[in-house]
Structure 1
Amino acid sequence: MRLILTLFCLILLINIAKSDELPSSEIVSLISHRQIKDNKLTINDTIIIQINNRDGDNDAAIQIAYSKGDKLSVGDAWIEDMSGNIIRKLKSKEILDRSSISDISLYEDDFVKEFELKHNQYPYRVIYSYKLTLNKFVQIASYDYRNKRLKIKNAKITVETTEDQPIKYKQKNIDAPQKETSLQTIRYTWQFGYEPLLREMNASVNNSNAPLLEIVPLNFIYGVSGSFENWQTFGNWIYRLNANRDQLPESETKKIDGLIEGVTNDRDKATILYHYLQDYNRYINVTLNVGGLQTHPAEYVATNRYGDCKALTNYMKAILKYAGIPSYYTLINMSDEVEEIDPVFASQDFNHVILSIPFGKDTTFLECTTNNLPFGYIHSSIQNRKALLITENNSKLISVPAQKPVDVLCNRSIKTTLNNDNSANIAMLITRRGEEYESSNYLSKNINKNVVDKYMRNNILTGSFDLINFDFIKTSRDSAQIQLDVQCRMHSVSKKFGNNISITPYSLKVPFYEIPDKRKQDVQIDYPQYYEDSLVYDIPNTTISKVPSNVQIITPYGHYILQFKAKDNQLTVYKSMLIKAGNYPLAEYGKFYEFIQQLRNLEIKNYYIEVL
């Protein structure tokens, strides 16, 4: 099931140059009335959007999403000027109705009604309303404005239910609701506004000042009956929804028998079957009926050789079961940022499914939607967060391990031979791990010199250079690192001033953070950044007599180590830079910023040596 998507809950990219300037667009009013009656949810929404300049025109393109079986009708809609004069009304023939098929989808039961109400004189307002009735639902409302840049002057959310259909809710940065009871009806009303802060580097999503409101039914019927009483009851419902969908055709079981014949170790069996999944199946979204939450049967994948994350994970679970290896369907929120899961408020907070396999005291996690990640690799978009492990009667939140510094360590080994014209020939062996491995591993499957050249300039090597040759090296498909062997010609590496030589460093990219006086939010770094360089410079026809002083900085936020050695005409440089994962409150931001600035300054500082 796709959540109710309207303009007011989309991520809108609004450029706000200064806090006192008008945003490109803003929500003047959002009035939503949601009624639960006879196991149906009826939504009546009226939205007023103000378009302040040309950059906001895209936000006058309205989309209202719904699913098969829902009833959606668009009410009156028009453009008006700031005096309230109606400029143009929407005509029914201007409303388009289409299937909401994404680039990675084959079939979907999701649809969109869309229309545009644009004007050429600013500011102007777009007013529209709609009514949507859902026959099945597991969510009543979700308003999450973390990391969004859309100003809201006034939002009023009303939920009307009955005593026999209770709801649960949580709010953050929103006042508690006004509650009214009349006969059998209970009405909850929330009101809030939102003035977004300027975007900041690694701003904490979990300590944001943005409004957050989630409302769910305590009990519901969606495919089968379920409950949000706690995470166990919700997970048990997921189990029942997907029960008995693990049957495999005989042709598939024969293949499995052949693949694991003579293999006795369960981990070895699981690795072989995971490779089989990767080699013969592909990810594509297929959303039909209750397909947003219910998996397609394992037989479907075995026959068609494709599926979404649910179907591929269920299929992997089924072939492991046939091989005698227990595993568990596991819900997780896959995202670049780690969003905390409330341990006491169960809701549909997940957008992805992985597989958990217990091997003794250890658990292996499998990402079943990719054909190029190693067996058991925990990638950056699922690491360090809670997930919901699904069992028949004892579903529970579990912790997916965080990437440690050793898991993300990226090395550069660079041999530089200086030429008389200040250019240099360099040979590099680059080892990538963690997120850098993930992007490089993907890149290696689509090798193109122009693409690699661009990747090098953006991620590995600064300065002016020509890429001469490159080669990706991966020792095995289950290695969580990849190497890139590169030869380049640098245009300008050094300058000589008498007996002094200035060498431009191969700088690492250090994130840019706001100065402490401008910073408004806590820092959240979800995984460490760890780099080591081993650099050798050959300087012909010289003997090095003096090198720079060594540097060592150790702080709670990470470290920086820089060491120099010289022998004859060869300068050796060792560098280690670590920025730790962590959540750093605004109160200590000054110390964190000081550390980051030290790194930035050291990374752009030339190496000065003396020669004979």
Structure 2
Amino acid sequence: MVFYLKHTCHAALLALGLLAGSHALAGGPPPKYPVADIPGSLRENAHAVVRLSDETLLVKSAGRTIETVRRAITILDEAGAHHAQELVYYDQLSSVSYLRGSAYAADGRLLRTLKASEIGDISLSDGFSLASDGRGRVADLRQPVYPYTVEFEYEVNSTNTLFYSTWQPQAQEQLSVEQATFRVLTPTELPLRYQERDLPAGTAAARTSVSAALQRYEWQVRNLAAVEQEPDGPPVGETTPVVFTAPTQFEVQGHVGTFTTWQALGLWNYQLNAGRDELPPAVQEKIRALVQGETDERARIRKVYEWLQANTRYISVQLGIGGWQTYPATSVAATGYGDCKALTNYCQALLKTAGITGYSALVRANKEDIRTEFPSQQFNHVVLCVPLQKSAKPDTVWLECTNQTNPFGYMSSFTGNRHALLVTPQGGRMVRTPQYTAADNRRERLADVYLDAQGSATATIRTRRSGLEQDDYEGMAGSRNLADQKKALAEHLPLANFSISKLSYTQDRRAAVPVITETLGLTLPGWASVSGRRAFVTPNLLSRWHALPATVGERRTPIWLENAFSYADTVRIHVPAGFKPENLPAPVQLSTAFGTYSSQVQAQADGTLLYVRRLLMPRTRFPRTEYPAYQDFRRRISAADKAQIVLLKTDA
């Protein structure tokens, strides 16, 4: 899998004659990119400004491309300093012809030129990708005094045409763009496939014929003001100008394919990996013995999967075409390890021995979902999809084969709630991975708080988390070091003054979705505010939501509520002797398209106060025009979460 891990904003070619500033400094070369030339509108709310950017993709043939990039960017402050670092990806199928760079002072004076000895070379393996033989050439031109400008240029030759360039001149927030250009030159018999998104009005591909044999496509943007990520909005990279490109025909180390449909891409993957699922006789005998007598289809799959987890481990070993072609199942059987493709192929072969058919599925893990309307290579991971044949109603088991501890059938936030390309003998077919709903993603908390007359308290809290709600705690629960567990949890607790007296975790991995139960003891000095004969208590102990910040001007992006969840909090407050409630908060009930919320406090016969809070949020999206209503919903929740109980001392 090839990822071009690079900045997408690059400086324009000098040949275009667009360098800012023409006056020469005394005794030196003409200044380049003086900061004074930047329009005020592009400095506003920006940490960096792309001065000039030019990127060219030259398609030499179905099996070779050359990418040429030049980029100049002015760094305005420390928050923009990362733009002064460049990383150029390469692997077994590509090479970096050159990487050059220079830094300029605010007035355009040349400060320094990058030396060859300063260019590093690092591994870019990410631990799960289809291909991890990736490496990067890295350069760092950060300067101690702001503002300054850096200019990089590089060229990459590739024999992997599965991937064409993605042009996104404004991929990050608080980055403005003065001018950026992208062009593709391709043979007439290899027409470019592309998809435009969020381009400024009036911007479109300019297509011309360079010659009878060569076509040119070009895009250009100017004066893009910096933007910010908005609360509960999409990432900036999902809402700023972008052009996705892809080939109609590609070739990787002699393996030719077409890219016009998902079916064609899936067929290429199937044919590339066909015949690599043969198992040694000894392994086949073990699997047959393992499932002997087990008639339940799901139980047979579980036994095979758990055997796989106990007898294999993940290791990235693929090179070149090995990024997409699996190691044979016999290799995994002999060594006990493999990458995501190899382990998925091995599990598929094991299930086949057990009389069960599974299919590899390509998925984009740990990132935004793919663009289903634009067939192209957008995947970085492989999982196994097993349709149940004997189920009373259609059902499917999904298996993550690279993880030795992953609960059976659970995809987590890593690959859940996504589209995947099912690889079958008939070709590719788009399917959905498991969708985790509010009924799956639950957090249920029961707390007993013992308050004393001085306002301090101790609390015993039991929290049950399931589905996506437990994902962030799975690693914490697996830690054997109690001190590390306490430190990690303390960072999540919304309390100003506390100490953890007790902490333990239990896990249920055999539930339909995994469950983690946390038992927590807290000491809470000054939890209640005491004034004279009264004590003021906020019964919402750990689940307070804040109101959203006020917007300046009109909302730019839609509202994205990407994960559904259900929260239930019950807090029993044990009131100290001599105190009784003088005032209880009014019950609150909110029911909107954004979600439902309720909270109330009741006095119990035994003198305790019972606080109950419920919040259910859907997985959905709303247009930006709904933001004022969403703000109001969040504001009302925040106000309810801050509501206080007033206790009155009666024995004074």
Q: TM-score, normalised by structure 2?
A: 0.85
499 and 101 in structure 1: CA distance in 2 versus 1, 3 angstrom threshold:
closer
Partner of 2:633 in structure 1?
595
1:516–1:99 CA distance, 2 compared to 1 (3 A)? closer
Structure 2 equivalent of residue 462 of structure 1? 495
Counterpart code for 1:515: A
| Matching of residue 198 in structure 1 with residue 233 in structure 2 | no
- Structure-1 residue corresponding to 2:196: 171
The number of equivalent residue pairs is 603
For residues 221 and 476 of structure 2, what CA distance do their matches in structure 1 show?
45
The whole-number CA distance in structure 1 between the counterparts of 2:273 and 2:144 is 51
Question: 1:420, CA displacement in angstroms?
Answer: 3.2
Shift of 1:111: 2.6
- Sort the Cα spacing of 1:119 and 1:439 in 2 relative to 1 into closer, same or farther, 3 A: closer
Secondary structure of the structure 2 residue equivalent to 1:253: helix
**Residue correspondence of structure 1 range 14-29 to structure 2 within 5 A:** 20-21=43-44, 23-29=46-52
State how 1:78-117 maps to structure 2 within 5 Å. Answer: 78-81=102-105, 84-101=108-125, 108-117=132-141
Preserved contact between residue 25 and residue 49 of structure 1 (Cα < 8 Å): yes
TM-score, scaled to structure 1: 0.90
User: Which residue number in structure 1 is paired with residue 404 of structure 2?
Assistant: 371
Contact 1:246 1:297 in 2 (8 A): yes
CA distance in 2, matches of 1:332, 1:253: 29
Structure 2 counterpart SS, 1:129:
strand
Following the alignment from structure 2 to structure 1, what is the Cα–Cα distance between the partners of residues 79 and 492? Answer: 31
Distance in 2 (CA, whole Å) between partners of 1:521 and 1:305 is 48
Partner residue, 2:161: 137
Look up the equivalent residue of 1:538 and give its one-letter code. Answer: H
Whether the 8 Å CA contact 2:103–2:141 is kept in 1: the answer is yes
- Kindly report which structure 2 residues correspond to 1:315-326, keeping only aligned pairs within 5 A, or say none: 315-326=346-357
Matched, 1:564 2:589: no
Unaligned runs of 5+ in 1: 11-17
For 1:98 and 1:474, locate their aligned partners in 2 and report how far apart those are by CA, in whole Å. Answer: 38
In 2, Cα distance between the equivalents of 1:549 and 1:100? 56
Per-residue CA deviations over 1:132-177 (Å, capped at 9, x if unaligned) read 2212221221134555554332221111111222221111123221
1:37 to 60, 72, 87: 60
C-alpha change, 1:439 and 1:571, in structure 2 (3 Å) is same
The alpha-carbon deviation at position 183 of structure 1 amounts to 1.3
Structure 1 residue aligned with 2:526 = 492
Secondary structure class of the residue paired with 2:637: helix
For 1:95 and 1:458, the matched residues in 2 are separated by 38
Deviates further, 81-90 or 404-413:
81-90
Q: Indicate yes or no: 2:240 matched with 1:210.
A: yes
Match of 1:510 among 539, 545, 567: 545
Alignment partners' CA distance in 2, 1:470 and 1:128: 51
* Equivalences for residues 181-260 of structure 1 within 5 A: 181=209, 182-193=211-222, 194-205=224-235, 208-223=238-253, 224-260=255-291
Q: Structure 1 stretch 301-310 or stretch 400-409: which is displaced more?
A: 301-310
- For 2:197 and 2:330, how far apart are their aligned partners in 1? 43
Aligned to 2:517: 483
Gaps of 5+ in 2: 11-40
User: Is the deviation greater in 130-139 or in 103-112?
Assistant: 103-112
Q: Equivalents in 2 of 1:119, 1:498: separation in Å?
A: 58
Q: 1:188 to 1:573 in 2, by over 3 A?
A: same
The alpha carbon displacement at 1:46 in A equals: 1.8
Q: 1:263 aligns with which of 294, 299, 303?
A: 294
Give the whole-Å Cα distance in 1 for the aligned partners of 2:322 and 2:622: 40
| Deviation of the 1:43 alpha carbon | 1.7
Are positions 1:356 and 2:385 aligned together?
A: yes
Alpha carbons of structure 1 residues 125 and 503: separation in structure 2 relative to 1, 3 Å: closer
Decide which moves more: 544-553 or 311-320.
Answer: 544-553
After superposition, the Cα gap between the structure-2 partners of 1:481 and 1:475, relative to the gap in structure 1 and judged at 3 Å, is: closer
Deviation at 1:99, TM superposition (A): 4.3
Q: In the aligned structure 1, how far is the partner of 2:236 from the partner of 2:439? A: 26
- The answer to which of 151-160 and 50-59 deviates more is 50-59
What secondary structure is seen at the aligned counterpart in 2 of 1:443?
Answer: helix
Measured at CA, do residues 108 and 564 of structure 1 come closer, stay the same or move farther in structure 2, by a change above 3 Å?
closer
Say yes or no: does 1:68 pair with 2:103. Answer: no
- Residues 390-444 of structure 1 show CA distances to partners (whole Å, capped at 9, x for unaligned) of 1121421112343211111101111222223322232221101233311222211
Change (3 A) 1:388 1:147: farther
